[in-house]
Amino acid sequence: MKELIPEALWHVDDAKKAGLYFYHEVIEEYLPGNRVKVAGHGEMLMLGGYSYLGLNGHPAINAASQRVIEKYGTGTHGVRMLSGTLEIHRQLEAKVASFKDAEAAVTFSSGFFTNVSAIVCLVSPEDTVVCDKLDHTSIVDGCRLSGAKYVRFAHNDMDSLESCLKDSSLPGKRLVVVDAVFSMDGDIIKLPEVSDLCRRYGAALMVDEAHSIGVIGRTGHGIEEHFGLPADTVDIKMGTFSKAIPSVGGYVAGSNKLCELLRHQGRGSIYTAPLPPPAAAAALAAIEVIEREPERVRMLHDNTRYFADRLRSVGLSFLNSQTAIFPIVCGDNWQALRMASSCQRRGLYIQDVQSRRFGFLRICFARRSRGSRWYTKHDKLMPCVICGNNQE
């Protein structure tokens, strides 16, 4: 058995021995103002989560989940294709289709397997799938499992993408898959150029909007709204219910034909249980809140600009991020661990990302009132701690 277990990709044991390990921490309670109570650490300001709009715990969302539990209980009695389709699933899919201005939508119980299922269903070993080098791991795994020729282009580099698409040696149908917002770097795919190239070379386009729904676009409708593009710019619109939307699972929105195929051949739909009823109800209610309370998106945009200005004022680099994700570059991985620990000791829930490129802290900013006591307390401290100006 021992021989089957490979070495970890980074030195977990060394980080624990050095007192710098801050992962799998137990959150005991969510508190107002984007604060959390963490076992062994007390009250902290959450800057490592995905509740971009502050919707977790929203009364309308909680109430929707509770009502559905009374009606259906907490689970289903089978997969969607057999006995597991509930009215709440259909209602959620109709709302997603409307929100994304698509003909239809299909939901899955995992965001990760939404990507895997869709890609495996759409391409085969006779086809080609083209991805950005910084696409999410779920996209990478879907491409590999599909057996299709897997080609990557340089990050957000349109010349590199065109070079891939014009390669006449690549087989079969061509599918381009990209993130809308890149989850580690926070930058936005150049969708107008990507779409133009796909149309020019006859490739279908799939976009993962896990970190763009509720985050970009004037009203939080995502990447097409952000660029002012028509609804048919993206062929396969993928997203999740576990970031700005405080639930779990994922969706694909698109044509009726696409969604019918995924319902009947998508392995993540026909071989696993569907979204639990309270999770589906929470996702539906959250989308309704986003539509009903657009000021949440405006406040997120205002706070994102404010925090970016604060970081720039102390000379910190956050790469090319244009969103609420801030990758603070800080040397190698050990330096990142030390800087993250410095933040944690001061009540900031910030983690480093162990990367082959460089060490960096990943901060996910959220909608919150800058006038709150907790925010004001950390406003000037945060950049100083990260910058290392707080010599101990």
Q: With contact defined as beta carbons under 8 Å apart, do 133 and 154 qualify?
A: yes
Find the mean pLDDT for residues 134-140.
Answer: 97
For residues 134 and 165, state if they share a domain: yes
- CB atoms < 10 A from the CB of 44, how many? 23
> By three-state DSSP, how is residue 209 classified?
coil
For residues 192 and 246, state if they share a domain: yes
Contacts of 83 (CB under 8 A, 6+ apart): 76, 77
For residues 65 and 121, state if they share a domain: yes
CA-based nearest residue to 98, from 291, 334, 378: 291
CA-based nearest residue to 237, from 279, 274, 208: 208
Query: Does residue 19 lie in a domain region?
Result: yes
Distance in angstroms (rounded) separating the CA atoms of residues 149 and 174: 9
For residues 235 and 284, state if they share a domain: yes
CATH code for the domain in which residue 26 is found? 3.90.1150.10
CA-based nearest residue to 322, from 123, 230, 185, 218: 185
Q: For residue 167, is pLDDT > 60?
A: yes
The pTM (predicted TM-score) of the whole model is 0.93
pLDDT digits (tens, 9 = 90+) for 291-337: 999 999 999 999 999 989 988 888 888 889 999 999 988 878 888 89
Which comes out higher in pLDDT, residue 354 or 385?
354
Find the mean pLDDT for residues 105-115.
Answer: 97
Contacts of 44 (CB under 8 A, 6+ apart): 35, 36, 37, 38, 344, 347, 348, 349
> How high is the pLDDT of residue 204?
98
Query: Does residue 270 lie in a domain region?
Result: yes
Q: With contact defined as beta carbons under 8 Å apart, do 243 and 214 qualify?
A: yes
Find the mean pLDDT for residues 348-365.
Answer: 82
Domain-terminating residue out of 260, 292, 324 = 292
Find the mean pLDDT for residues 222-240.
Answer: 98
For residues 37 and 79, state if they share a domain: no
Work out the pLDDT band at 385, boundaries 50, 70, 90.
low
For residues 345 and 265, state if they share a domain: no
> How high is the pLDDT of residue 274?
95
Domain-terminating residue out of 272, 292, 312 = 292
Q: For residue 357, is pLDDT > 60?
A: yes
Work out the pLDDT band at 387, boundaries 50, 70, 90.
low
Domain extent, residue 216, equals: 59-292
Which secondary structure element, helix H or strand E, spans residue 382, and what is its range?
helix 381-387
Q: With contact defined as beta carbons under 8 Å apart, do 224 and 218 qualify?
A: no
What percentage of the chain has pLDDT greater than the value 70?
A: 92
For residues 63 and 48, state if they share a domain: no
Q: With contact defined as beta carbons under 8 Å apart, do 264 and 235 qualify?
A: no
Q: What's the number of domains the chain is made of?
A: 2
Q: For residue 85, is pLDDT > 80?
A: yes
Average pLDDT, the chain: 91
CA-based nearest residue to 360, from 320, 305, 303: 320
> For residue 150, with 0-12 CB atoms within 10 Å meaning exposed, 13-18 middle and 19 or more buried, which class applies?
middle
CATH code for the domain in which residue 121 is found? 3.40.640.10
Find the mean pLDDT for residues 218-242.
Answer: 98
For residues 383 and 334, state if they share a domain: yes
What percentage of the chain has pLDDT greater than the value 90?
A: 79
Find the mean pLDDT for residues 170-194.
Answer: 97
Any idea what the Cα angle at residue 59 is, between residues 56 and 63, rounded to 5°? 105
For residues 126 and 12, state if they share a domain: no
Q: With contact defined as beta carbons under 8 Å apart, do 189 and 136 qualify?
A: no
Instruction: Please state which of the ranges 158-162, 250-254, 334-338, 356-360 shows the lowest mean pLDDT.
Output: 356-360
Work out the pLDDT band at 11, boundaries 50, 70, 90.
confident
Contacts of 169 (CB under 8 A, 6+ apart): none
Domain-terminating residue out of 292, 326, 355 = 292
> How high is the pLDDT of residue 33?
84
Work out the pLDDT band at 368, boundaries 50, 70, 90.
low
Find the mean pLDDT for residues 167-193.
Answer: 96
Q: For residue 373, is pLDDT > 70?
A: no
For residues 9 and 73, state if they share a domain: no
> How high is the pLDDT of residue 281?
98
Work out the pLDDT band at 16, boundaries 50, 70, 90.
very high
For residues 77 and 47, state if they share a domain: no
